[in-house]
Structure 1
Amino acid sequence: MSGKEGCIKCGSTNAAQKEVAMTGTGLSKMFDIQNNQFIVVYCKDCGYSEFYNKQSSTGSNIMDLFFG
C-alpha cells in the first residue's frame, strides 16, 4: 500500500455511503426477493464505488476501508 489516503481513482477525500439491496440467483431472482445487502462507499467527485457485504463488515468502519 502506498500510504496515500483518498479515492484510488482521483485522490479526493469527498466520499459518502449508501445501503443497497439486490436479488441473488434462482428463486430469489424470479420472485424479486432482495436478500443480499451491501454498503456502497462512493467518491462524490469521480463516482468510483466499492461494495461491502453488510453482514460481514458491520463491525468495521467502511470509510476507513475505502480510504486505506
Structure 2
Amino acid sequence: MATKGCIKCGSTDAATKEISTTGTGLSKLFDVQNNKFLVVYCKNCGYCEFYNKEASLASNVIDFFFGG
C-alpha cells in the first residue's frame, strides 16, 4: 500500500517553483535558457523532484510526488 507524503520525511506540505536552464552547445554559449522545469519540493525537509514543464501539470505532479 502506498503512503502519502514526502518520501524522505512524510510531510504533506509541498510547493512548486518553475526554473529555466540552458542546454548544451550554442544555447550554453549564448546563455539561452530554453529548458523549462517544474520543481516540486517538500517545505519541511527540502527534498525536491524536477519535471519537464512541457510534459506535466502542477496538480498532477504534486499528486505524483505524494503518491496519490
Normalization by structure 2: what TM-score? 0.91
Percent sequence identity over matched residues? 67
Whether the 8 Å contact between 2:38 and 2:58 is mirrored in structure 1 is no
Normalization by structure 1: what TM-score? 0.91
Whole-Å separation in 2 of the counterparts to 1:51 and 1:38: 6
Question: Mapping of 1:1-68 within 5 angstroms?
Answer: 2-58=1-57, 61-68=60-67
> Which stretches in structure 1 are left out of the alignment for 5+ residues?
none
**Which runs of structure 1 show a deviation greater than 6 angstroms over 4 or more consecutive aligned residues?**
none
Whole-Å separation in 2 of the counterparts to 1:44 and 1:59: 16
User: Post-superposition shift, 1:58?
Assistant: 3.2
Letter in 1 for 2:60: N
1:1-39 Cα offsets, whole Å, 9 max, x none, are x41000000000010001110001110011000000000
Aligned residues: 67
Whole-Å separation in 2 of the counterparts to 1:64 and 1:15: 10
